[in-house]
Homo-oligomer: A and B are copies of this chain.
Amino acid sequence: MRIGDLAQRTGASVRSLRYYEEQGMLASQRSASGQRHYGEDAVCRVLLIKQFFAVGMTGKVIAALLPHVKDSGERCPPAVLRQLTAERDRIDAQSDELARTRQTLDALIRTTEEAMRGAPPMNTT
């Protein structure tokens, strides 16, 4: 599979895929002429990378963790384990924050909607 296909199948841009490789998160087989080729597993890998990015992990962190994700069951150096738990804790904190903020927004939305039931249309679109 070439980079364009991988991009299409993962929803990542070609640029991003190259960036992932540059940062050591994603490997590729290079053809004689230097073109990147990927196996099926690359799809999952990229999706995982995207997932990690989506929860606010940084490229460096992901690059550090990913090798140990793939061959799971293998030994994980203590430093990596620490980072792993650090990220998990960060995620927990983030979850709490999200929950709190969700409540704030929700209250606000409810108030507004109630107010709107009283005097519906308004020209301030």
Contacts and interface: CB of A to CB of B under 8 A. Distances in A.
A109 B84 contact: yes
Interface string A24-58: 00000000000000000000000010011011100
If over half of A's interface residues share one DSSP class (helix, strand or loop), that class is named, otherwise mixed; here it is: helix
Interface residues of A, number: 47
A48 to B, nearest CB: 8
Contact of A112 (B52, B68, B111): B68
Contacts of A107: 72
Contact of A109 (B88, B97, B111): B88
A14 interface: no
B88 A95 contact: no
A115 B78 CA distance: 12
Contacts of A111: 72-73
Interface of A: 48, 51-52, 54-56, 65, 68-69, 72-79, 81, 84-85, 87-88, 91-92, 94-95, 97-102, 104-109, 111-113, 115-116, 119, 122, 124-125
Given A76-B115, A125-B78, A98 B95 contact: yes
Contacts of A113: 81
